[in-house]
Amino acid sequence: MIKFENVNKYFDQHKALKSLSFELPEHETTVIVGPSGSGKSTLLRSFNLLEQPEEGLYSLDDKVIDFAQPISEKTILEVRRQTGMVFQDYNLFPHLTVLKNVMEGPLHVLKEQKLIAAQRAEELLELVGLSDRANYYPNQLSGGQQQRVAIARAMAMNPKYLLFDEPTSALDPELEAEVLKVLLKLDVEKNSMVIVTHNMAFAKAVASNIIFLEEGNILFNGSPDEFFNHPTERIQKFLSAMTFEDILPK
């Protein structure tokens, strides 16, 4: 379970997260949506402490972090052990082959044996459909392939929570489809997922829970049915903008 209580995050004067409180249950897929600059990335990155809010309480299962206090290195590493992240621009390690990218964490963080790590990496590459690219370098892959490697790399650490920050925003529609296909295969029984996306069809399909952010506030936190079928006026406006309904001729 991920739980925030009155969390505030500032960038200098600018308040990026405004007293957020919510709870994300385990084994569910939460989708975070909202306009650009609304704080989606900041929120997601707070979950693995890449951003550290200044105020509020953060509970990750039985671990409770008070953001007002300095967070110890040990706590940070423990939180990151529980979470995996997939970035918008992949951020694969360019100097390592695909296989080595996936093995890097198991080998040098979990100190797994090489053979075991390699075997698991190969299984994951199979899952994301890239077995035949194991010895390629990231620069030799398309964006969609790189992002699928990034998913395998995150999963290799067996995180309890998988965090996706607009994983398909940098991709053409066809490549987006191949990444979404992989995301649909992921097992919610094993991982809880939090996904930031602009793809409403995908959100509708996978979300068990939707959070709508605007200017650092949560304007909606509830079921996809309510979000898409009974939207408030503000959400309706956002959804129309997403499908360009508001500007295209009728």
Ligand X SMILES: Nc1ncnc2c1ncn2[C@@H]1O[C@H](COP(=O)(O)OP(=O)(O)O)[C@@H](O)[C@H]1O
State the residues that interact with ligand X by CB under 6 A.
11, 14, 16, 34, 36-42
Strands 209-214 and 161-165: unpaired
The mark string for 101-130 relative to another protein (x by CB under 8 A, - otherwise) is ---xx--xxx--------------------
The mark string for 44-83 relative to another protein (x by CB under 8 A, - otherwise) is ----x-x----------------------x---x--xx-x
The mark string for 5-24 relative to another protein (x by CB under 8 A, - otherwise) is --------------------
Strands 63-66 and 83-86: unpaired
Q: 3-class SS at 86? A: strand
The binder of 186, among ligand X, another protein, Mg ion, none, by C-beta within 5 to 8 A per type, is: none
The encoded tokens of residue 28 equal 């569910």
- Position closest to Mg ion via CB: 41
The encoded tokens of residue 117 equal 């790590």
Q: Which residues contact 157 (CB under 8 A, 6 or more apart)?
A: 81, 84, 105, 106, 109, 110
CB of 14 vs ligand X, minimal distance in Å: 6
Does residue 117 contact residue 195 with C-beta atoms inside 8 Å? no
* 128 closest CA partner among 96, 79, 92, 170: 92
Q: Which residues contact 112 (CB under 8 A, 6 or more apart)?
A: 106, 120
Query: Is 42 a residue that touches Mg ion (CB under 5 A)?
Result: no
The binder of 39, among ligand X, another protein, Mg ion, none, by C-beta within 5 to 8 A per type, is: ligand X
Query: Is 167 a residue that touches another protein (CB under 8 A)?
Result: no
Dihedral over Cα of 80, 81, 86, 89: its sign:
positive
CB of 39 vs ligand X, minimal distance in Å: 4
| Residue at 151: amino acid letter | I
Instruction: Give contact residues for another protein (rule: CB under 8 A).
Output: 48, 50, 73, 77, 80-81, 83-85, 87, 89, 91-96, 104-105, 108-110, 137-140, 153-154, 156-157
